[in-house]
Structures are given as structure tokens and as C-alpha cells.
Structure 1
């Protein structure tokens, strides 16, 4: 389990590095990795907000 979490963490850190590098004009493959990373982040964000709505909560965690 620790190994799996370590691999996931390494992928997240590498993806964030690719986003930063691509924003500074990196090579084409880095821009591709950055695009995939940002798309995955959007999917995670949307799945979290959909789950929260289905539980009757609001997307901001119920803070008004």
C-alpha cells in the first residue's frame, strides 16, 4: 500500500513539474504531459463536486 501511494505521489509531483515547465515554454512532450495532468485534475475536481452534491452538500463544503 505504501508503495502504491509513493508511486501516486511521484506521478503527482512530476505532473506539477510538467505544468510549471510547460508554462515556461518547455518541449512539446512536456506540454502534452501538462495537458494530461490538468485534465486529470479537472476530472478529480468534478468527481468530488458531483459526489458532494449527491450527498446533499454544497461544493464549497457548506460554508456560507
Structure 2
């Protein structure tokens, strides 16, 4: 079973389990309570990225609690 990772409550970027701050935005508001996972490779061409306001490629949680 894969280890649960931490999603940022601010930008939804999915970080490693041992992270103290978000690698994308620097926020310290990280949680294990998230659902859905999307990998965005070309945010400038992605409707999902536009909806989520994502500007950098990476893995993002769809829903963060």
C-alpha cells in the first residue's frame, strides 16, 4: 500500500509525507485529509488547471479538507 502524502490547503499541491511546508507555495498548512489526484503537465493548455488556478506542472489533490 502506498504511503499517504500531504496536500496543501492553499494550492492543493501534493507533497511528500515528511514535508513541513509546501514545495509549491511555501504554506505550512498541509493535511492528509484529501481526495482525488490529478497530474498536470501543461497547465497553460489544461481546463482542469484553469479551473483549479494551477500555473505550475505537478501533482495536485482535487479535494482538500
Tell me the TM-score range normalised by the shorter chain: under 0.3
Question: Which protein has greater RCO, CA pairs closer than 8 Å, 6+ apart?
Answer: 2
Q: Which has more helix, going by share of residues?
A: 1
**TM-score of the superposed pair, with normalisation by structure 2:** 0.21
